Structure formats: C-alpha cells, structure tokens
C-alpha cells in the first residue's frame, strides 16, 4: 500500500469515527432553535399556559431542551404592581423577576427554572423602544409600531433561543386574537413565520362549545377565530380545541376543511379533573408528534412519562383526605394563591392523601368565630400579602393554631403575623406590630429593611429572587430539607427585627434559618409546638410535580397526624 493510500485509509477511518461521535453528540440537538407560537381565540382562560407547558413537557421527555415564554399585552412593566384580583398570583423567578403566574406552571411541569426573559409585557417593549429613541439610536427616523415595536418583540422572542441555545422556544401570546392589544404580537409572529419558515409552528387554541338545548357541538366560533387570525396574516398550523365532550372525526374534518389545516393537526383538549393530566392527553392526541413533524425534527419513540404517570396514579387513587385551612384575603379568587395550592396538592399526593383546601377569608375572621371557621382543619396556612385588609384575621388564625397545637405554616406576611402574634400574646408587648401596618408602633418586631428605607418607586424594588439561607441542625426545617444550606425566593420589604431575637428565643420562638451574609431571620419555629414554622421566603414557588417541596411535605405529614373526634 502506498503511503498516500495508508494516509487516506486512516483519514477515512478517522472521519468515520468522528462522524459517528458527532452523531452521538448531536443526537436530538438542534442546529437552529425552533419557535412554537401559541395563540388563543374565542374566549380567554382556555388554558394556553397549560397547553404550552404540556407540549414543552412532552418535547423535553423526548430529549429536547425547551423553554416557554409568555408575552403579556398589557402596559404594566411587570405584574408586580398588579392587584391579584386583576391577574392572579405574581410568580417570582430565581433571578428576581415578578412575572405572570403561567411561569409557575412552566416550572412545575418542566422542573427547570425560568427567568426575566421568559416574561415580556407590552410595557417593557415600549419602555425599551422609547429609551432607545431618547438615546438617539433611531438616527432621526420616525419611530413606529411596525417595524420598531415589532422588531423589539421579535428580538425578545429570539433572545431566548440564541442566548441559552434552547432547541425549542414556545412563546405563548397572552390575550385573545382580535384584541387591539395583541395586534403587534401577532404581526411579529407573522414576520417571524415569513423569515424562518419551517422553523416555526403556530398553534391556535380555541373553544368548541356544547349547546345543551340542541345537543350540538359548535365549530363556528373556531372558524371565525381562525378567520380573525388570517386577517392578521397568520395561518395556524395546528388547532387545539377545548371541549367538554369528545370531538368525533367528522367535526375535526369540518374544522380542518374550513381552517386550512391537516385533519390530524386538529387536536382536542377535553376537560380533565387535574391540569397534570393534560400532557398525557396531549400525547394521546399526538400533539408533540405533529409539532416535531412540522418543525422537521427527529421524532423517535414516544416517551413513557413514567414518573409523571406515577404521580397521576397517586393523585387519582388517594382515598384519605387531609384538610388544610388557607387563610388569606384573596381566597375568593382561586388563582391568587396558585403556587401555594399546587404545592399543597403535590405534597398531599406524595403523602398518599387528597388535600381538601378550606379557603378562609381573613377579613371575616374574629376571635369569636375562629373556632367555627377553622373547625376540622388539620393544618393552618397563613398566606403572604400586603396591607391592612384581613391582617387582624390572620393574627387570630395564628393564635388559634398556636394555642390548639395545630400545625401552622406562615408564609412571608404569614410568618410576620406569627412573629407579631407571639410578641403581643407571649412577650406581652402591647400592640407590637409591623411598621407596614403601624409605623408608630412602640414595638416594631417587624421592621422595614435597611436598604428599603430610601426607596420610593413601587415597581421591582422589593427584596426579590433567590437568597441563601443557613438552617439550624435539629430544627423542623433541617429535618425537612435534610441540609444546612438552601436557597429560596423572596418578595418583601419588611423583616424580622433582630433586636428582639433574644427575647423571642428565651420565650420559645426561635430562629432556625438565617441569611448567611446579612443574618436576616428567614425561618422561625416554636419547638414546643407540634409543627409551627414561619418562613420569610416563598417555598411554594419551588414545588414541582416531580419535586414536591420539603417544607410542604413535612407540613402535610404533620397535618395528617392530627385526628379530630368526629
């Protein structure tokens, strides 16, 4: 063999091995990020967030790296300044962004943290365009919605793909097609679809109502909604139809025909008892399959979703019930304490129980009626919050839990209430309070944090995001977390006033978790009590379907052990 032939042989062997290695390394990695857009029509609250999270879950289970982004068409910079009655819970990310509650679903489904980039509002888009205009970046040009606002929307969408190298970015467009507010977003989707072709897919979620009087399922609203989307220049690739009843194939064919989509791209999303069933339903309907096909990505075998299904199995088969009273001032609105409710469901399920949540309006809670209102509660959770409304009732709930040795979990303001109740009734500090509620109090056991004192702007200025906490060995918290160092997310301006710590500890309420850098008290406990824990942070944001939160697990376990005579 000539030298050259040997060389060629080696090279070809080498390149074969190299190409094989490359293939292994690039299995399911995507050279260019793909973009899936989820729009909604006919009605609001159809569950775009759950559909997006379910699709993301299914793609993730197939080995793709996926993230979800929510675009909210309102003018607030973020929902941090919104009353929960307006928009439900404000969800806080690790990096301290105050975001839409849908990001909570994304994290609970995907078990992967989100960030500021995952939630963009119209306010934020306009703010950056106007800042650029003031800096003179537009060089004398007229600044317009198209192309300047739409360019900024497109930049924010693409940012997640390019910065973090996700294989698939799912962007959920808030609002309903046809709204004035969502026009620039739909226009941005139109442009991206035009630019990126088969790297994009548009999923449109609509409703097929059932008319009981005539016994019929109606497709006309869907047809009109797709027409509205077409008027804005976007042809959906996949339709997901919310329905109370199974959609027969003739209905799907009819929708496909009128809306220019493949009939197998007409997917039903039937009402289910738990949102956690939706990924399984979507897999049965082939949503992930059709998305991958349209994006021209390898499909492979359908994942088994073993752990997910094991959770669902526990959720459905649990027979015993644990009753928890959730005391707060927004209890009429189920979305206001979304993450807490979900964290309770996760923890109860893994403890083989169903959780019955008794929502208790703290505004109506008094010393006289507390025994009646909290009757039968095996655990009492006092919710976070701001301001006076319902504050006194929360103190009454803490007192009831403490005196009756009922497991008590106080979160953020709930923890502060526990501290105030203890000051007033055990330390005998009359009218002890938080400076938030009474800035003239003689005993400010909860005080404004030092670095908050000169802050005047309300938006995005609290102590936000993840902070370290060191836990004392031997405490309930240590037993639950099984580690001395944790990280939890915060959202507050007030804190435990450490000047009183020695007095508290002498009298039976101790600090079991502190910030290692500032010594801020983050956890208080009453060791003599059955289970009494107050946390300055929000553990509920960290509970996911596959990773229930250790403190919620421990709280539920303690609650289950409480038996009342029937």
Q: Residue 155: how many CB atoms within 10 A of its CB?
A: 14
What are the structure tokens assigned to 395, written together? 């103190």
Q: CB neighbours of 148 closer than 8 A, spacing ≥ 6?
A: 129, 138
Angle between helices 278-285 and 287-294 (to 10 degrees): 60
Q: In terms of Cα–Cα distance, which of 520, 543, 492 is closest to 96?
A: 492
* Spatial contact of 198 and 211, defined as CB atoms under 8 Å apart: no
List of residues 6+ apart from 476 with CB closer than 8 A = 512, 525, 531, 533, 554
Measured CA angle at 248 (ends 245, 250), to 5 deg: 140
Q: Minimal distance in Å, beta carbon 491 to ligand GLN?
A: 5
Locus of tokens 């301006």: 493
Q: Which residues, numbered 406-425, are part of the site for ligand GLN (CB under 6 A)?
A: 412-413
CA distance 242 to 239: 10
* Cβ–Cβ under 8 Å, residues 362 and 417: no
Question: Which residue, 258 or 386, is less far from ligand GLN as judged by CB?
Answer: 386
Closest CA relative to residue 308, chosen from 283, 280, 285, 284: 280
Q: How do strand 532-535 and strand 521-525 relate by DSSP bridges?
A: antiparallel
Q: For residue 86, how many C-alpha atoms fall within 13 Å in the half-sphere facing its CB?
A: 10
Determine which residue in the list 156, 492, 549, 557 makes contact with ligand GLN, applying CB under 6 A. Answer: 492
Residues that contact ligand GLN, how many (by CB under 6 A): 10
Longest dimension (CA), the chain: 101
Among the residue ranges 97-105, 284-292, 354-362, 491-499, the one whose residues contact ligand GLN (CB under 6 A): 491-499
Window of 142-150, 203-211, 264-272, 487-495 that interacts with ligand GLN by CB under 6 A: 487-495
Can you give the C-alpha Rg of the chain in angstroms?
27
Give the per-residue contact string, 494-533, with ligand GLN (x = CB under 6 A; - = no): x---------------------------------------
User: Is the CB of 342 or the CB of 540 nearer to ligand GLN?
Assistant: 540
Given a contact cutoff of 8 angstroms between Cβ atoms, the answer to whether 308 and 319 are in contact is no
Q: Is 493 in the site for ligand GLN (CB under 6 A)?
A: yes
**Contact string (CB under 6 A) for ligand GLN, positions 434-463, x = contact:** --x---------------------------
> Cβ 325 to ligand GLN, closest distance in Å?
18
- Shortest distance, position 292 Cβ to ligand GLN, whole Å: 41
Q: What angle do CA 179, 184, 186 make, to 5 degrees?
A: 75
**Which tokens belong to 330?**
């927004």
Using DSSP's 3-state secondary structure scheme, residue 207 falls into strand
Nearer Cβ to ligand GLN (64/409): 409
Binding status of residue 489 toward ligand GLN by CB under 6 A: no
Tokens of 393: 């009732």
Stretch that binds ligand GLN, among 47-55, 112-120, 177-185, 490-498 (CB under 6 A): 490-498
Q: Which residues are catalytic?
A: 412, 538, 540
The least distance separating ligand GLN from the CB of residue 66, rounded to whole angstroms, comes to: 30
Beta bridge partners of 168: 34, 66
Residues contacting 70, CB < 8 A, separation 6+: 49, 99, 100, 102, 103, 118, 119, 120, 171, 172, 174
241 vs 325, beta carbon nearer ligand GLN: 325
Sites for ligand GLN among residues 41-80 (CB under 6 A): none
Burial of 144 (0-12, 13-18, 19+ CB in 10 A): exposed
The window from 203-211, 291-299, 308-316, 486-494 that contacts ligand GLN (CB under 6 A) reads 486-494
Residues listed for the chain: 566
Site for ligand GLN in 347-406 (CB under 6 A): 384-386
CA-based nearest residue to 346, from 537, 529, 550: 550
Cβ contact 93:114 at 8 Å: yes
Residue with smaller CB distance to ligand GLN, 412 or 558: 412
CA pair distance 113, 167, nearest whole angstrom: 16
Binding site for ligand GLN (CB under 6 A): 384-386, 412-413, 436, 491-494
């Amino acid at each position: 063999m000539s030298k050259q032939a040997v060389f060629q042989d080696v090279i070809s062997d080498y390149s074969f091995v190299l190409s094989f290695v490359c293939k292994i390394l690039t299995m399911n990695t995507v050279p260019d990020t793909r973009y899936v857009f989820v729009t909604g029509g006919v009605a609001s609250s159809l569950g775009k967030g759950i559909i997006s999270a379910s699709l993301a879950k299914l793609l993730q289970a197939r080995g793709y790296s996926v993230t979800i982004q929510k675009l909210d068409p309102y003018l607030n910079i973020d929902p941090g300044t919104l009353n929960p009655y307006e928009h439900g819970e404000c969800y806080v990310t690790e990096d301290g962004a105050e975001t839409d509650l849908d990001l909570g679903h994304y994290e609970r489904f995907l078990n992967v943290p989100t960030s500021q980039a995952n939630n963009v509002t119209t306010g934020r888009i306009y703010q950056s365009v106007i800042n650029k205009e003031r800096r003179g970046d537009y060089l004398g040009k007229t600044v317009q919605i198209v192309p300047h606002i739409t360019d900024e929307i497109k930049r924010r969408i693409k940012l997640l793909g390019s910065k973090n190298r996700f294989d698939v970015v799912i962007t959920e467009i808030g609002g309903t097609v046809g709204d004035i507010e969502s026009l620039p977003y739909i226009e941005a989707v139109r442009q991206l679809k035009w630019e990126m072709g088969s790297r994009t897919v548009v999923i449109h979620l609509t409703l097929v109502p059932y008319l009981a009087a005539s016994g019929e399922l109606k497709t006309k609203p869907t047809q009109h909604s797709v027409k509205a989307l077409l008027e804005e220049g976007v042809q959906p690739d996949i339709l997901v139809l919310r329905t109370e009843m199974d959609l027969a194939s003739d209905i799907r064919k009819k929708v496909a025909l009128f809306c220019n989509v493949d009939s197998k791209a007409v997917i039903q999303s039937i009402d289910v008892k738990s949102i956690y069933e939706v990924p399984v339903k979507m897999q049965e309907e082939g949503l992930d399959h059709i998305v991958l096909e349209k994006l021209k990505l390898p499909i492979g075998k359908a994942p088994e979703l073993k752990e997910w299904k094991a959770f669902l199995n526990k959720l459905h088969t649990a027979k015993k019930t644990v009753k928890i009273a959730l005391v707060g001032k927004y209890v009429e609105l189920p979305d206001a304490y979304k993450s807490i409710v979900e964290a309770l469901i996760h923890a109860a399920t893994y403890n083989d129980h169903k959780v019955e949540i008794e929502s208790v309006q703290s505004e109506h809670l008094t010393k006289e009626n507390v025994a009646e209102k909290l009757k039968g509660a095996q655990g009492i959770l006092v919710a976070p919050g701001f301001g006076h409304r319902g504050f006194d009732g929360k103190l009454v709930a803490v007192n009831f839990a403490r005196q009756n040795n009922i497991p008590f979990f106080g979160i953020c303001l709930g923890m502060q209430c526990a501290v105030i109740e203890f000051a007033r009734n055990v330390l005998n500090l009359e009218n002890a309070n938080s400076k938030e509620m009474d800035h003239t109090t003689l005993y400010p056991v909860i005080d404004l944090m030092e670095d908050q004192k000169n802050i005047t702007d309300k938006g995005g200025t609290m102590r936000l995001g993840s902070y370290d906490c060191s836990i004392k060995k031997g405490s309930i918290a240590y037993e639950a977390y099984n580690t001395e160092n944790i990280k939890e997310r915060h959202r507050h301006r007030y804190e435990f006033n450490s000047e009183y710590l020695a007095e508290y500890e002498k009298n039976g309420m101790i600090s079991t978790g502190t910030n290692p850098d500032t010594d801020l008290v983050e956890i208080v406990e009453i060791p003599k009590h059955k289970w009494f824990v107050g946390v300055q942070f929000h553990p509920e944001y960290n509970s996911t379907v596959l990773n229930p939160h250790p403190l919620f697990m421990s709280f539920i376990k303690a609650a289950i052990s409480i038996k009342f005579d029937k």
